[in-house]
Amino acid sequence: MSNHISRREFLRRAAVGLSAVTLNQLLTACSSDEAQSIPPTGEAQPTSPASEAPPAAPTNVDEQAESPAQSTSTPGSGPDLVVARSGEPEALVRQAIAALGGMERFVPRDASVIVKPNMCVAYHSYEYAATTNPWVVGALVKMCFEAGARSVQVMDYPFGGTAEDAYEISGVAEQVKAAGGEMVLMSGMKFMPTEIPNALALSQPDIYDDILKADVLINVPIAKHHSLSRLTLGMKNLMGVVWNRPALHGRLGDSLADLAGFIRPALTVIDAVRMLMANGPTGGNLDDVKQMDTIIASPDIVAADSYAATLFDMNPEDLAYITSGVAAGIGRSDLENLRIEEINVVA
């Protein structure tokens, strides 16, 4: 049975007994701190043909979702985490992923891939560092196709402005389309009640259906300040796949650990090309932006967040979601014991 069907079957079982509450939740407005409207459904024309190569061997998604979280450290002698500095965004991404073993390690041939950047607001272009750098996203789309992906979709669920405006104003849509990817408007009707086994705080969130059905999820947040959680990084970026995000804020650390452990991005690439150092998450003042020309990449979302925290002069334990992620066994924050490769792209 294919990975795609396995995910569908898991979602079917997870939704048993919960479908009655779905319509009520979808008709309920979000709380006032992140009020948002349901984005309209959008369809883009596919631009990349399916690969002729056979698909990779399926994984047991049901077993993965129902088993205790395991460490995502890189096996073998390769690095657990790569930091690339001092180069153009695409060069930074390519060298960081190459050092991890190449995109082929994360994207099997004929895979369906979703790339999840941060496009949370429709107010500013990428220069203001509130949204993920468009050339970082475009590079990932290109590399997924080069690895043999069947399709690459890019999406987010903004809380400020419309998705269409956020995609265009951020500059992400232009780069994704140029790379052959598809920008997707996330339909409110596709947020499905999903049971997270053994959850600490987030037992039955409404998660975007396509995120769970994709063969591969690549998480590509921007590193920025956040007035509530202190920083938005990889784990925090996953809130964009949940319908009622304000409900997570009560126990944010545990909720994000539940979400990250369940969704399990194959790869987290943190955009620190331009970092928002204050007045996040929306920003709006170029004086708050720091040019770093840095990319952090790891299959371990907790490790990636832990390293990114140091760029803000914080320790990993300063962020509740990192502490919860370590306690849940999702990943590691002991940077001194990790294999970290640092690359200076432009000497």
Cβ burial, residue 33 (10 Å; 0-12/13-18/19+): exposed
Burial of 273-306, coded b for 16+ CB within 10 Å and e otherwise, reads: bbbbbebbbbbeeeebbeebbbbbbbbbbbbbbb
Residue 65 contacts residue 10 (beta carbons within 8 Å): yes
Write out the two tokens for 59: 């994984």
Q: Max alpha carbon distance in the chain (Å)?
A: 59
Residue for token pair 């750098």: 133
Least Cα distance to 160 among 33, 60, 66 occurs for: 33
Rounded Cα distance, 96 and 343, in Å: 8
Collapsed DSSP state (helix, strand, coil) of residue 213: helix
Write out the two tokens for 211: 């995120």
Identify the pLDDT of residue 52.
Answer: 36
Residue 260 contacts residue 301 (beta carbons within 8 Å): yes
Angle at 312 between CA 310 and CA 315, to 5 degrees: 40
DSSP string, 151-218: EEEE----SBS-HHHHHHHHSHHHHHHHTT-EE----GGGEEE---TT-SS-SS-EEEHHHHHSSEEE
Cβ burial, residue 336 (10 Å; 0-12/13-18/19+): exposed
Structural domains in the chain plus CATH codes: 3-33+60-344 (3.40.50.11440)
pTM comes to 0.79
Identify the pLDDT of residue 70.
Answer: 33
Residue for token pair 């339909």: 187
Identify the pLDDT of residue 227.
Answer: 79
DSSP designation for 154? E
Identify the pLDDT of residue 272.
Answer: 98
Element (H, E) at 253: helix 252-263
- pLDDT tens per residue, the chain (347 residues)? 334 443 334 444 444 434 333 333 333 333 333 333 333 333 333 333 333 333 333 333 333 333 333 333 334 578 999 999 999 999 999 999 999 999 999 999 999 999 999 998 888 889 999 999 999 999 999 999 999 999 999 999 988 888 999 999 999 999 999 999 999 999 999 999 999 999 999 888 999 999 999 999 999 999 999 978 899 999 999 999 999 877 777 788 999 999 999 999 999 999 999 999 999 788 889 999 999 999 999 999 999 999 999 999 999 999 999 999 999 999 999 999 999 999 999 85
